[in-house]
Amino acid sequence: MSDQDVPRERVELESLDPKSIDIESLDLGQLARHASPATFASNWKSILATDASLGVVLALIGVAIVIWLGWAGWLLVALGLAYVGLVGRRFLQWRWIRRKVGLR
């Protein structure tokens, strides 16, 4: 894809510093409250993967506690998996927001 095929707004947003994007001016409606500067960062998937790894580690610690101490670790397993699920939801929101403003 050449630079001529890319919409002008997309090129401008990709060249901006994510912190300088005015989220309120993007006409995102209710989803503006879910947008953050990290939503528009070029490494947004890495940010979410790092965040999800926290939930995975929490779940693994819960499994280890289940093995050694019995039922007490199941709460950590549930919390860790719920956290990973919430990161997945944030992935979908951020992907939708990025597509709406012309980023991929």
- C-alpha distances in angstroms, 101 versus 3, 20, 95? 17, 15, 10
Contact 14, 42 (CB under 8 A): yes
Distance CA 10, CA 102 (A): 5
Q: Is the pTM of this model over 0.75?
A: no
Instruction: Calculate mean pLDDT across residues 89-99.
Output: 88
DSSP state, residue 22: -
Longest dimension (CA), the chain: 62
Domain locations in the chain? 43-104
Position 1 scores a pLDDT of: 44
Select from 34, 26, 28, 30 the least CA-distant residue to 9: 26
pLDDT tens per residue across span 35-83:
777 877 889 999 999 999 999 999 999 999 999 988 889 999 999 999 9
Position 56 scores a pLDDT of: 97
Q: Give residue for tokens 């005015």.
A: 22
Distance CA 72, CA 52 (A): 22
